[in-house]
A and B are shown apart, each in its own frame.
Chain A
């Protein structure tokens, strides 16, 4: 049933149950918000989205007000504007005054609101929030004094990711959003997915920066190479004002060359490698009759299993992530070919992910024996900032190609960037290589999309294989609980911790308010477009991969493969004990 209401004089018709905020958005009116975030349950606590209803009392918050037939809404009447400005003054009084030294300067939602509303000053002295700086985690940093108590991180971490690192604590003016007993993040069950840094409107939560470390490496005289994740090429353009989903692969490679990287390689190569190894694993597991929990490429997901479902570790794929496989191969195979000693090399990866920083630092990720296989990780956001520091305007660059021998990748490698991509890539190889016959169609559309759970049943070697792809850890938890009860008969499960998969990762550009989910979907579409445009679309047909096995690894699952490309996982305690 639909209802028709009028917002600022404009008639809008929406389904019953729609909020006034959503209805206004439909009419092109973006009522200011701070605590509201698309996809998170609304809390209506910042009170900035207040509106005036004709015949109503007070100024209700539009984010939770259901639209009713015949309602007359004013989103910026004199009363509303006065109140909104007062509320912003209150928020200003509880916030540090100096934006210049804040990493969110220029991209802060509070700053924009204060600027839009012309809030310059408020005479009363500032009441500081709780002061706490936490740099304990390898992926995420906290600076509580910048917190505006919007609670988005709480809702994201507790309700969507079901990890629950943050909560509101204390009461009234002493309220804070913090961890249990204010423990450093490194001592909590945090899985480093970084979704909290995506939703935080201010500089209270951000990724741990590695920009300075990378500059140092580039200027050190070492042979510095980088690998670029699939998601980066369809999203880094947003940092330069391009629409979400703009494919800028060529310009990105050129920009990285200009920054000083000796070679710019493609993580998708590592992804193809992962499929080769994991495909073999899948078949072994099918023989055993046990499900394979895939996507070792998602470190947050791996952390999640190690923390909350250690008993399921035997079901996890033992393959490393594409990033780490790449690092191991770069400092062995490539180093040999290039005649460089691995100690004289640095491998930098550019990732849509914050957890990758933590993954690169795991002590076991040292297969080359020359220190970390991946030295530093830059998020998409950091990579763009480095380019800006160097005066490089990415959109203006002349496209260049990835370097050999680790720059060639199939379409299957590219689709790792989206939820459902790993499944599809695995199916393309598993069904063909191990079933022994060529596939007529290689697109498995059933596992594409934005639903939290997508299923498909595929025939491999005469056997029906049931696969599932999920995104967000909350959905993962549901599936794991079902599996524990014996209710989910999947043979293969792909989990990506972030919404939409890596394209929605914790290190990605933060979409503007009007396009939060739409941006992720646009990037997903771009990923599939890149896949469709490539000549080689299956991992096992990638000539560079074939060469690597022929010259160096032997075959999937060989001793060398096991040493370089596989890893061991173990349970970890949540609260640091």
Chain B
């Protein structure tokens, strides 16, 4: 009996679907069958990439989905005898060692898998995130080794050459950010990993940190080296405790192995990392608010300029990168520049993890080359709209983003195209809406969200968004006035122009974008006093 590794997804998604019990069932079965003798083990892993089918178990190259504890016993017993349980299998990898899997569809031929390319997520679902040795065996910290052999300026140059852009939302060229920080006068500097991920519908950072924290940590260390920082922080949202714990463990293990601390790998570079938890404020995803939070203050943003690269944490030059941005960095050094640049578009190289949720068959975190069309995302990867409904729109970029209607299905998902269409790439959250959704209600939902998360510091965001909400509520209640849509556009424009930070500046986006593409639907609410999707309770008492 060859040693088998039973991988089970125990990230937040898996656990919420009951993976803990499934894992127990696997372990009990293995123990009962004396499997330890052959070296077979159960390995808890992160996101396998088929979130819609959690709990997931993979063994011998066969992937099982929606596994219940009883199924787990069956699957384990069969696998130990070298057999697959074809009836319960979802798909198989190209290399499959179990017999009886002939009829199981190969993963690589599935459209939702074939179009993906896992780079940031390459080890998620493969390695045990709690074992640094497992991660090292899979190539972990090789990128760091190579980067430390170069001078910091050369590290920056390499990242510049591949054109890596920030994956947190704005798409700002990462190398330029690093350069600005490196150029600041020598002295104390900081490198921060922004793992706040407040966008509802976005969980790629959470999945990354749960599934392969060492990759992100490695990226942060390289970033620190390039910027000349001596201390790093990972700022994790409090609502994602598993991810926070995962990073904390990774930091401890990295310290023990000498990847953090003094004279890392004999390079003379000193760097250490502290994990900080957020305390429940969406606005802390904004760089300057995040900095204020680490300083122990209210998470209120500050005016920029000066930018954090010149004047950041405690007044020192600070570089802040998103989790996913950092996750791409190790491979740029480990596998080389050409490898990274082989995917993506001319202006936006590499891959992006999109989280697709909502009215879609296959929900989950999907890593794709930038430039894929929305149509392929929704219908090939997403598997289309369930329950026989029709695609209405995709909200891209969460509460700061915009909607993409049917007419945008052939849009290439890259920074510039999305921006021109009135949406944003944002964190990569894509919420799919079908024809049972009311776009006025969607706009109202997002505005309510940003309004409740406004820090309250600046006038336009604090007072202006609630004025917009008053108008939208009025429209949704069937009391809209003829001038309301224009008024929403006017207010939205001013709030966007005058707000202090990105939260306020992008708060009007969902409203402006739904008005742009679904003007008629607004019209029906205002003039016709009815909601075509049947969602808004027009004239009904609250």
Contact = CB atoms under 8 A, between A and B. Distances in A.
Q: In their complex, do chains A and B touch, with some C-beta pair under 8 Å?
A: yes
Contact of B463 (A66, A93, A174): A93
Contact of B467 (A64, A65, A90, A171): A90
Given A46-B458, A47-B460, A87 B498 contact: yes
A171 B281 contact: yes
Contacts of B505: 58
Contact of B459 (A42, A66, A91): A91
A173 B456 contact: yes
Given A43-B457, A65-B305, A168-B298, A173 B462 contact: yes
Interface in B433-485: 451-460, 462-464, 466-467, 470
A145 to B, nearest CB: 15
Contacts of A172: 451-456, 462
B408 interface: no
A42 B494 CA distance: 22
A50 B456 contact: no
Given A45-B458, A170-B456, A94 B463 contact: yes
B contact patch SS: helix
Interface string A144-174: 0000010000000000000000001011111
A149 B459 CA distance: 9
B497 interface: yes
Contact of A175 (B451, B456, B491, B496): B456
Interface string A34-70: 0000000011111110100000001111001110000
Contacts of A45: 457-459, 500
A61 B298 contact: no
A481 B462 CA distance: 40
Contacts of B32: none
B137 interface: no
A433 B249 CA distance: 73
A94 B456 CA distance: 13
Contacts of A513: none
A171 B500 contact: no
Nearest to A91: B459
B466 A173 contact: yes
Contacts of A168: 298, 300, 456-457
A83 B456 contact: no
A183 interface: no
A175 B283 CA distance: 15
A47 B452 contact: no
Contacts of A42: 303
B305 A47 contact: no
Interface string A308-338: 0000000000000000000000000000000
Contact of A83 (B298, B466, B497): B497
Given A45-B500, A91-B459, A173 B451 contact: yes
Interface string A77-105: 00100110011001101100000000000
A102 to B, nearest CB: 20
B303 A64 contact: yes
A94 B460 CA distance: 12
Contacts of A82: 494
B325 interface: no
A168 B466 CA distance: 20
A124 interface: yes
B62 to A, nearest CB: 50
Contacts of B306: 66
Contacts of B494: 82-83, 86-87
A61 B300 CA distance: 16
Contact of A44 (B303, B455, B467): B303
Contacts of B470: 124
Q: How large is the interface on A (under 10, 10 to 19, 20 to 34, 35 or more residues)?
A: 20 to 34
B490 to A, nearest CB: 8
A46 B456 contact: no
Given A45-B457, A66-B305, A50 B498 contact: yes
Of listed A43, A168, A171, residue having the most chain B CB within 10 A: A171
Interface in B296-319: 298, 300, 303, 305-306
Nearest to A68: B305
Contacts of A149: 456-457, 462
Given A90-B464, A171-B281, A58 B457 contact: no
A127 interface: yes
B456 A58 contact: no
A18 to B, nearest CB: 13
A514 to B, nearest CB: 23
B499 interface: yes
Interface in B352-407: none
Given A66-B305, A172-B453, A46 B497 contact: no
Contacts of A83: 494, 497-498
A59 B498 contact: yes
Nearest to A48: B459
A456 B458 CA distance: 45
A59 B460 CA distance: 12
A57 B130 CA distance: 45
A47 B458 contact: yes
A52 B497 CA distance: 10
Contacts of B500: 44-45, 47, 61
Contacts of A124: 467, 470
Contacts of B298: 168
A91 B453 CA distance: 20
Nearest to A148: B459
Nearest to B453: A172
Interface string B137-170: 0000000000000000000000000000000000
A47 to B, nearest CB: 5
Interface string A446-478: 000000000000000000000000000000000
A90 B463 contact: yes
A6 B470 CA distance: 40
Nearest to B456: A175
Nearest to A44: B303
A46 B305 contact: no
Contacts of B455: 171-172
Contacts of A127: 463, 466
A66 to B, nearest CB: 6
Contacts of B453: 172
Given A59-B497, A66-B305, A168-B456, 6 more contacts: A43-B457, A45-B500, A46-B459, A48-B459, A65-B305, A87-B464
29 contacts: A43-B457, A44-B500, A46-B459, A47-B500, A50-B497, A58-B505, A59-B497, A60-B303, A64-B303, A65-B303, A65-B305, A83-B494, A87-B494, A87-B498, A90-B460, A91-B463, A94-B463, A124-B467, A149-B456, A168-B298, A168-B300, A168-B457, A171-B454, A172-B451, A172-B452, A172-B453, A173-B454, A173-B463, A174-B456
Interface of A: 42-48, 50, 58-61, 64-66, 79, 82-83, 86-87, 90-91, 93-94, 124, 127, 149, 168, 170-175
- 5 closest A-B pairs by beta carbon, nearest first, are A175-B456, A64-B303, A90-B463, A44-B303, A172-B454
